[in-house]
Amino acid sequence: KTIMQTINPESFQDEELQEACRILQNGGLVAFPTETVYGLGGDALRPEASAKIYEAKGRPSDNPLIVHIADMESLEEVAQTVPEEAAKLAQHFWPGPLTMIFPKKEKVPGSTTGGLDTVAVRMPSHPVARALIRESGVYIAAPSANTSGRPSPTKAEHVQEDLDGRIDMIIDGGAVGIGLESTIVDMSTGVPTILRPGYITKEMLEEVLGQVQVDPAILSRTINPNIVAKAPGMKYRHYAPKGQMTIVEGKTEKVIGEINRLCREKMLEGHSVAVIATEETETRYQCDNVRSVGSRRTEGSIAAGLYDILREMDHIGAEYIFAESFEQDTLGKAIMNRMLKAAAYHVINV
Ligand code: TXA
Ligand code: MG
């Protein structure tokens, strides 16, 4: 049975985390809020704990986990070498939604790193996550707390939906702030390389470091068998609702017209259809199910709302999903990266 515990991130006592700490110290699993998405935590240094994480998520065991720490001393404990550029990024963006990859120390088991000799490390800023790491004294391995392949959880209810009965505890700290997983930067190869786009954008990284590379796999807009993603997790079908999702690109009026046409067609065939719209356009669709993901005036609201909407598509039972598209600028890169995966790169241009 999974224990549910509500904690108010704005005002809580560390003592409230006692039970969660005890579970982690004993090799159990606790889902907890971070500023990006909910994580499924276990002791990163215990192979049994990471084995349980893979099992609970149904995650392929070659897909490595991120190790969450609360201070810089801990980085030295798990990373073999910390290049000066990484120290600079840590200074600017930690605690926060940035994950960096380093050659790993011996004590980090291969079961946590998916057999790689590198380790992904992140220092989250969410007060509950920070307190949990600090109070438990555990380096917390934590992938997103969803069933493998489903959208990452941005609320405790999402975690419950996927993992209830499969893990020891879920800490409900309310909806997360960012809503997309952390930016991953590989610091182990000399040239810092973005392996997964996120809230910390390429532009923000370059302000600190100068030039930063981007893994070609995340720029690709098709499933290209010749480009293998360097973050093993980025190669899987992901974030995907059960229905078939199509992204429609082009000028707003044309997009609305085409989505309405496609909806009509599929509804006439007797299918359950849904539209992923924005606050600015949601009244313009004639479809049984229209949902706004957020406002185009604040990209942050779209990032924060995306996974909840993708899950809602399953609740509606949508067989066909038509979604508006977003600019691939700054945060839009991360948003479109997730949407393209959710849509299995199904894009129509009008
Ligand atoms: O925001 C986040 O990063 C959330 C919260 C809970 O911190 N965690 C998260 O974990 O998104 P997960 O497991 O869902 O995604 C981790 C990604 C995967 O794509 C994995 O392949 C990649 O990080 N990764 C982990 N270790 C790696 C390594 N050593 N080399 C390359 N990629 C790595
Ligand atoms: Mg994940």
**Binding site membership of 232 for ligand 1 (Cβ less than 6 Å):** yes
Task: Say how many Å lie between the CA of residue 340 and the centre of ligand 1.
Answer: 18
What's the pTM value of the predicted model, to 2 decimals?
A: 0.96
**Binding site membership of 37 for ligand 1 (Cβ less than 6 Å):** yes
pLDDT, residue 54, reads 97
End-to-end CA distance of the chain: 50
Q: Are 142 and 50 in contact (CB under 8 A)?
A: no
**Binding site membership of 100 for ligand 1 (Cβ less than 6 Å):** no
Task: Say how many Å lie between the CA of residue 224 and the centre of ligand 1.
Answer: 21
* Ligand 1 atom at minimal distance to the Cα of residue 36: 1
Nearest-angstrom CA–CA distance, 68 and 164: 23
pLDDT tens per residue, the chain (350 residues)?
A: 999 999 999 999 999 999 999 999 999 999 999 999 999 999 999 999 999 999 999 998 889 999 999 999 999 999 999 999 999 999 999 999 999 999 999 999 999 999 999 999 999 999 999 999 999 999 999 999 999 989 999 999 999 999 999 999 999 999 999 999 999 999 999 899 999 999 999 999 999 999 999 998 887 776 665 667 787 777 666 778 999 999 999 999 999 999 999 999 999 999 999 999 999 999 999 999 999 999 999 999 999 999 999 999 999 999 999 999 998 888 999 999 999 999 999 999 99
**Binding site membership of 63 for ligand 1 (Cβ less than 6 Å):** yes
Q: Residue 305's Cα: distance from chain center in Å?
A: 13
DSSP state of 83: -
Residue 286 identity: Q
Complex prediction ipTM: 0.99
**Which ligand is closest to the CA of 41, given by its number?**
1
DSSP state of 104: B
**Binding site membership of 145 for ligand 1 (Cβ less than 6 Å):** no
Query: What H or E segment, with its residue span, contains residue 119?
Result: strand 118-122
From its phi and psi, is residue 25 left (phi > 0), alpha (psi between -120 and 50) or beta? alpha
Q: Are 15 and 180 in contact (CB under 8 A)?
A: no
- For the record, the structure tokens of 299 come out as 């990209």
Nearest-angstrom CA–CA distance, 268 and 273: 10
pLDDT, residue 249, reads 96
pLDDT, residue 217, reads 84
DSSP state of 108: S
**What are the residue ranges of helices labelled H in 58-144?**
72-78, 84-93, 127-136
**Gyration radius (Cα) of the chain, Å:** 20
* Ligand 1 atom at minimal distance to the Cα of residue 116: 29
pLDDT, residue 296, reads 95
Sheet holding 244-249, edge to edge: 289-292, 273-277, 320-324, 244-249, 347-349
Q: At what angle do helices 299-316 and 156-163 cross, to 10 degrees?
A: 40
Sorted by sequence, the CB contacts under 8 Å of residue 313 that are 6+ apart come out as 241, 242, 243, 245, 274, 276, 291, 321
**Which ligand is closest to the CA of 149, given by its number?**
2
Residue 268 identity: L
Sheet holding 183-186, edge to edge: 3-6, 169-172, 30-32, 39-43, 140-141, 66-68, 118-122, 98-103, 183-186, 193-196, 213-214
* Ligand 1 atom at minimal distance to the Cα of residue 232: 21
pLDDT, residue 61, reads 87
